[in-house]
Amino acid sequence: MSIGFVLWDVFPIPLFKWIDFQGHVKYMKRTFKDIDCVLQSWLDEHVKKRERVNFVEGNEEDFIDVMLSMMSNEDFVDGYSREPTIKATALSMVLVASDTTAIHLNWVMATLLNHRDAMKKVQDELDTNVGRNRWVEESDIKDLVYFQAVVKETLRLYPPAPLLAPHESVEDCIVQGCHIPKGTRLWVNTMKLHRDPKIWSNPDTFDPERFLTSQAGVDVRGHQYEFIPFGSGRRSCPGITYATQVTHLAIAHLLQGFDFSTPSDEPLDMKEGLGVTMRKADPIEVLITPRLPSVLYKF
């Protein structure tokens, strides 16, 4: 997420509320109106669909359908009616999942451009399991075990959210000898955990094979607590399924369909940027070459 400096946020003095030298507040309000129009159109479309005579509850329902079925026009959540509640919830899921997913896609491609041998292995795996006469589909991903290991290893080295959302201790407790009083605000340092030499051998080295051997049973859902790119437990990221499906399918399509190289053929700088999410500091410039029959590129 890009962050702009607004004087009112830092110094909540009434006078500063009206100062907007750089136009951030004006831009934010205009953007909010545009986003709200999109969300309203989604909601209106679903409401009209449910008003049709032949609509059957439970048939091909998506997230908005489920919320509409659970809330009536008279229901209120924290003082808000059904319409703004559904729009706010949908916006939260879309923004969080799309931003971190795009960041992860960027890191995977940058990492593979610096490890051409791994990129070649993924493409060979795609050729073996999918072939070059059709595009990879979601049902193929389960057979691409090395590709899945590459995605996991990139998540380990470059988690889109280096710090998970804060949690608060509801009671006094002791964790590995450390006393944590009730009410303590806790931040989980994902980056530190994912590069802990006590858990990972050669933690700063890109090694997808670790998820096929020593860490073969470790998944992205945080069940083992040593690998938690999406958090763990009931407070883990609700967009994990969406993010993993989109990431796997998008990257698989790119690697199946094209060969990639850099203009100078030099290694990319993998420096991280600053922000709530961990973006790559510098954009990627690539040269792409089609590797499938030309007929497959006609959509």
Position 238, amino acid = P
Buried b (16+ CB within 10 A) or exposed e, 131-150: eeeebbeeebbeebebbbbb
| 66 and 111 share one domain | no
| 164 and 30 share one domain | no
2 part of a folded domain: no
Classify 35 as helix, strand or coil.
Answer: helix
pLDDT at residue 61 greater than cutoff 70: yes
| 169 and 234 share one domain | yes
- List of long-range contacts for 119-126, beta carbons under 8 Å, 24+ apart: 119/255, 119/260, 121/146, 122/146, 122/147, 122/150, 122/255, 123/255, 123/256, 123/259, 123/291, 126/252, 126/255, 126/256
Q: Is 237 assigned a ligand-binding role in the annotation?
A: yes
For the segment 281-296, the average pLDDT, to the nearest whole number, is 92
pLDDT for 56 equals 66
At 11, the pLDDT band (50, 70, 90 cuts) reads low
| 176 and 59 share one domain | no
Classify 258 as helix, strand or coil.
Answer: strand
266 part of a folded domain: yes
| 172 and 254 share one domain | yes
Q: Cα separation of 65 and 47, whole Å?
A: 8
75 part of a folded domain: no
| 256 and 211 share one domain | yes
| 221 and 259 share one domain | yes
- 161: domain CATH number is 1.10.630.10
| 38 and 150 share one domain | no
Number of domains in the chain: 2
pLDDT for 19 equals 74
151 part of a folded domain: yes
Average pLDDT, the chain: 86
| Domain that includes residue 239, residue range | 97-297
pLDDT for 1 equals 43
